[in-house]
Amino acid sequence: MNSIIRFVLLACLLTGCSDGRDYPEAIDVTKLGATDLVPTLEQRIDRGKNQLYCSTFLYAWNEIKKNSKSVVIEKELTQLRLLDGSTLFKNSIAPEDIGNQVSFQGNSILAEAAFAKSLPFEFAFDRGNSELVFGSTPVESFGFNGFNPKAASQVELLLYRNREEFAVRLNPKAEDQEILLFTSPKLTGSSLGELLRILNKEIGKHGKSQKPEKEHWKYHFAEFDTLSIPEITFNLEKNYHSMVGNKVAIDGQEFDILKAYQRIALVLDHKGAKIESEAELGLVTEVVEGLPKPKRLVFDKPFLIVFKRRSSKNPYLVAWIQNAELMINKTSGNHI
């Protein structure tokens, strides 16, 4: 993204969002071995890696579509057709939280989107309240042990079947925002969109409203319950090389994709969350059961994180966390 435009867009969006917690320096996601960015929720994911999605890339593409009469993509260009046909980004970000623009200049098109959001908790959770080992790696975490009225007021138990399958909602101070975390052996879908459908289905099927009163203990935090969530911090960028060089017909004129870029940054810790993302698309016409038991909700196994507005069914950021690569090593204090 043009440095001046990027500065103006992000400066406007980030005003008042500074909290002293900085993102790490942005790095190319290909430098990591077990994490990837995907441009749509429909794209098939690599289940052996962390998978990160933010709707900014689709917002940038949508700027081109909104300002064109027709967009034609060859049938064999599967990834671009998924991009063009996706509707799961719509209304995911409030208009005031995203900056979009597109310019058509002669033989080139440049579309950009920038988004930033700060989601502090009203009450900070306890940091390192319990030992959390993700896979075989001890990582920094936050949550609470036992009944903590202030912290618990920010958490809703959406689903609790056992220690292997549960879902919680974290409620930041912002009224129209929520952070969903879900772990279950049933998370076996081939795309992030499928994982989201499983989440919604399980909550609808096994949520409190579907349970007899004798099981309602599963949906409240009690004296001996534990909640422990890994801290996550990343600032990753990706050039979607698989899209570059592909041809797209816009208003009857053939364009080659010259650049397809996205950056996603996230901090999630005991104080809250903050998110930042930008995307750029450049095209040119030249080639280029029983009694209540203590519940232990420890996210020490693969889980799904969903950031969304309560008023929208579509999320703006989704992460499938398969390994500890995006967490902070408890021993060294550095990223894994």
Burial (CB count <10 Å: 0-12, 13-18, 19+), residue 112: buried
Verify that 203 and 248 share a domain, yes or no.
no
pLDDT of residue 187: 92
Q: What is the mean pLDDT of residues 205-218?
A: 69
* 151 plus 227 within the same structural domain: yes
d(CA 295, CA 304): 19
264 and 317 inside one domain: no
Whether 12 and 156 share a structural domain: no
The reported pLDDT for the residue numbered 106 is: 79
From start to end of 197-335, where are the E strands? 226-230, 232-239, 247-250, 253-269, 272-284, 296-298, 303-309, 317-321
**Domain span holding position 296:** 132-231+291-321
Q: What total of structural domains would you count in the chain?
A: 2
Measure the CA–CA gap between 61 and 79, rounded to whole angstroms.
Answer: 13
Q: Are residues 201 and 247 in the same domain?
A: no
Give, in order, the Cα–Cα distances in Å from 2 to each of 98, 115, 256, 278, 282.
17, 15, 19, 11, 11
Let me know whether 113 and 138 are in one domain. no
Structure tokens at 138: 């001890």
Q: Is residue 28 part of a domain?
A: no
- The predicted pLDDT at position 219 comes to 78
CATH of residue 211: 2.30.39
Whose tokens are 């959770």? That residue is 125
Indicate whether 308 belongs to any domain: yes
CA-closest candidate to residue 327, choices 113, 54, 139, 178: 139
Do 8 and 88 have their domain in common? yes
Residue 330: inside a domain: no
Task: Measure Cα distances from 182 to 79, 299, 301 in Å.
Answer: 27, 9, 10
Residues 313 and 276 placed together within one structural domain of the fold: no
3-state secondary structure of 207: coil
At 3, list the tokens.
């440095």
Note whether 219 and 316 are same-domain residues: yes
Q: Please, are residues 232 and 327 in contact by the beta-carbon 8 Å criterion?
A: yes
Written as one letter, the residue type at 78 is T
* pLDDT tens readout for residues 62-103: 999 999 999 999 878 888 999 999 999 999 999 999 999 999
**What pairing do the DSSP bridges indicate for beta strands 296-298 and 226-230?**
parallel
- pLDDT tens for 119-176 read 999 999 999 888 999 999 999 999 998 767 899 899 999 988 889 999 999 999 999 9
